[in-house]
Structure 1
Amino acid sequence: MLEIYLFVNPLGTKCFKSEQKVLDFIRLSPKKISFQFVPMLNIQTVNDVMIEKNLDTRNLTLRNELSESIYQAALDYKAALFQGKKRGRAFLMAIQEYLVQDSTCYSEELIQQVAKEVNLNWKMFSEDRRSVLAKNSFKNDQKIANDMNVTMHPTIVINNIDGLDCGVSFPDADLVDISKVCAGDFNIQNGLHQTINPQNQLYVL
């Protein structure tokens, strides 16, 4: 069975296309695939969003505000997942789609609107998004990213290809042909996966 991790910035609009790409591949693939979208937050992800939105990267106030928004969006995504993986993904992607289409800001109004659209229990969601459980789940996601040497978004990591205990990561998921990678369209040497693109990272599980 394949394991696919897509590391995303919950407010990064370019992650939306990568998420759609992964879901399309899984829907069409005859293989059994375990997958999850993993929210991440670091200096690089904040900087990328500031550049994407044409914000002054030297403005510490804006940087801190954006960092807080990304963190809260990640907690909200985790809270939505508590009501089911499909609803959680629907919540995340609906938020991103609004940000892409309307260039809106991440606000309580948008959160409530999307929560209603994807049929979340608002009372439960309101409690969960501020819970220790959501925060701990987010911390675990950051540990996963660190263990897999992921620093950029959207990064896709594919594990256990052909049953080998190693994985390969691609720092720009939007440029990856997932079907070719999963079909073994790369060289294998010394029991480890080797890829042609030097930017791709190899790690042992």
Structure 2
Amino acid sequence: MFEVFMFVNPIGTCCYQTEQTIMKTMKEADAITRYHLIPLANMKTIQSDLIRKHKCPTNLETYNHASEETFAALKDYHAIKMAYGNKIARKYCLAVQHNINDLNKEYNTGLFKNLIQELGLSIPKIQSARMSTYLNESIAADERLAQKWHINDTPTTVIFNDEDENSGLIVEGHLLHDELLQIINGFDI
């Protein structure tokens, strides 16, 4: 079995494309795979995404706006994860990225509420989870995993073959469909 860990900026451009590639490839792969989405937000991930969007990362107003959107999306993701589990949180993250990247929307309270309604979730339940002290612990656990594996930017994909404990591959940036399919279908890591 392969485990695929995808470190993403919750509102990132390239992250969304890479996630789509990974999910499509996993459906086609001959091997059993397990997918983990790990949203990550820090100065580097925000600056990288601004550059990809052709915005100036050194403009303080631009950076602060992107930072507020990114951290709000990160906290909302973790609140949904705590309230509804990983699968629903992953659906939410993909819906956020679709709206931002394909529909050119900004992450704000209106988008949050619309997506929560579309997914049939409870805003009070999510807000309660967002106020929980466990929210910061959940975010910190993901940050520790990123530090352990020296993940500094997004998207970054980490692939393990559970049958070989010494195997592992870290791919920074966009991962191509054919490359991932070859890795999962039998090429040694």
Q: TM-score, normalised by structure 2?
A: 0.89
Q: Distance in 1 between matches of 2:56 and 2:74?
A: 23
Hey, what does 1:183 align to over in structure 2?
A: 185
Q: Superposition pairs for residues 21-170 of structure 1, below 5 Å?
A: 21-82=21-82, 83-160=84-161, 162-170=163-171
Q: Cα RMSD between the aligned structures?
A: 1.9
What is the rounded CA distance, in whole Å, between the counterparts of 2:65 and 2:25 in structure 1? 35
Aligned to 1:190: none
Structure 1 residue 12: deviation in Å? 0.3
2:17 matched residue in structure 1: 17
Percent identical across equivalent pairs? Answer: 25
d(CA) in 1 for partners of 2:127 and 2:11? Answer: 19
**Equivalent-residue separation in structure 2 for 1:43 and 1:166 (angstroms):** 30
What is the CA–CA distance in structure 1 between the aligned matches of 2:174 and 2:163, rounded to whole Å? 21
1:76 corresponds to which letter in structure 2? D
Separation in structure 1 between the aligned mates of residue 182 and residue 31 of structure 2, nearest angstrom: 13
Structure 1 distance, partners of 2:174, 2:183, is: 12
- SS in structure 1 opposite 2:36? strand
Q: AA paired with 1:84?
A: G
Q: Higher relative CO (CA 8 A, sep ≥ 6), structure 1 or 2?
A: 2
- For structure 2, list consecutive stretches of 5 or more residues without a partner in the other structure: none
Give the corresponding residue for 1:7: 7
Instruction: Render the CA deviation track for 1:145-193: whole Å, top value 9, x for unaligned.
Output: 111111121111011354233411000243362121123424xxxxxx5
Deviations, residues 103-138 of structure 1 (Å, cap 9, x unaligned): 221100000001111111221111212322122111
- Per-residue CA deviation, residues 61-109 of structure 1 (Å, 9 max, x unaligned), is 3323322321121111112223032221111111111111222211000
Paired residue secondary structure (2:169): strand
Conserved? CA contact 2:78–2:135, under 8 Å: yes
2:173 is matched with 172
* Range with bigger deviation, 4-13 or 161-170: 161-170
- Is residue 17–residue 174 contact of structure 2 (8 Å, CA) maintained in 1? no
- Check the 8 A contact 2:159/2:168 in 1, yes or no: yes
Tell whether the 8 Å contact from 1:75 to 1:130 is kept in structure 2 after alignment: no
Structure-1 separation of matches of 2:168 and 2:175: 18
Conserved? CA contact 2:29–2:184, under 8 Å = no
How has the CA–CA distance of structure 1 residues 130 and 52 changed in structure 2, closer, same or farther, with 3 Å as cutoff?
farther
SS across alignment from 1:102: coil
